[in-house]
Homo-oligomer: A and B are copies of this chain.
Amino acid sequence: MIEIYLLEQLVSFAKNKTLLRAAEELHISQPALSRSMKKIEEEFGVQLFNRENSKISLNETGKLATEYARRVLEADREMLERVIAFDRSKRTLCVGSCAPFPTGELIPYIQEYYIDMAITSEIADDDRLISGLKNGIYQLAILHEQPDEKELFCQRYLEERIYLSVPKEHPFAKKKSVSFDDMKELRMLVARNIGFWMNVCKNNLPTDNLLIQNSLEALYELIYASSLPCFNSDRMIERGSDMPERVNIPITDEDAHTIYYIACLSSERKKYSSVFNVARSTVIRGE
């Protein structure tokens, strides 16, 4: 069997055409490379080079050998890459969610239970979450609808209701409640990354009235600096992110309320039982 380092040197020579330049690329000396080329020729047991005193070049067989060498190196490289990726995936727990609040709520608990794992979370559509669970992109998903798929285990999690948030002096500030219909004329500040709530907004309000902010910093700055209305939610308020000089008015539409569900592959239910236990106890505490 011919060792990888020899193949690397062969390929580098094929690329650089002279031993000197190849040796520079490989950070070895010219004589070392010269010897290696002798050695690889000996190991193949066939002539790979034309040598004319102070000139060495690949012959037809050498070119073929280089082609195959490239393949071997590629296989070696791919092996390294895939094995490392697999290892990483084993120690990474990826949580997908349809909205930001539940991950913020759940992840600290998960982190606590799986201290040796990297936890990643991202927001995606329910469709993508479900297919992601199936193909292993996500290990856990937080949905706002119960999927009726047999291969998924699903457990009810927290509820969330969104509110209209306006400054105290805003015409709406005195209202006990509002509907999306009432809000049709309002220009609303909203963050971009709010998952399915964005669909709720777009389905119930004129799209042009949504002042979508890419970053939370920008959003909060605008909320403080302007009197423009924005959204809030019971869960965010509980969490203490209430905004001073603003009042939160309940939105009466059914769309303004949701129930979250935690899901995983049925086959992995046991593996994540601690997550489901924590979630269940959170729900009970919240009631």
What is the chain B residue whose CB lies nearest that of A47? B87
**CB-CB contacts below 8 Å: A50-81 with B:** 60-61, 64-65, 68-69, 71-73, 75-80
Residues of chain B lying within 8 A (CB to CB) of residue A73: 1
Residues of chain B lying within 8 A (CB to CB) of residue A75: 68, 71-72, 75
- Report whether A83 and B64 are in contact in the complex, using a CB–CB cutoff of 8 Å: yes
Indicate the size class of the contact surface on chain A.
20 to 34
Known contacts A1-B8, A87-B61; A68 and B72 CB within 8 A of each other: no
- Report whether B80 and A2 are in contact in the complex, using a CB–CB cutoff of 8 Å: yes
- Report whether B79 and A2 are in contact in the complex, using a CB–CB cutoff of 8 Å: yes
Verify if A240 is at the interface (C-beta below 8 Å from B): no
CB proximity of A27 to chain B, nearest CB, Å: 14
Known contacts A1-B8, A3-B4, A77-B1; A82 and B64 CB within 8 A of each other: yes
Known contacts A65-B79, A75-B71, A79-B72; A46 and B87 CB within 8 A of each other: yes
Residues of chain B lying within 8 A (CB to CB) of residue A79: 2, 65, 68-69, 71-72
Residues of chain B lying within 8 A (CB to CB) of residue A76: 1-2, 72
30 contacts between A and B (CB under 8 A): A1-B5, A1-B8, A1-B73, A1-B76, A1-B77, A1-B80, A2-B76, A2-B80, A3-B3, A3-B4, A3-B5, A4-B4, A44-B83, A44-B87, A46-B83, A46-B84, A46-B87, A47-B87, A60-B90, A61-B83, A61-B86, A61-B87, A61-B90, A65-B79, A68-B75, A68-B82, A71-B75, A72-B72, A72-B75, A72-B76
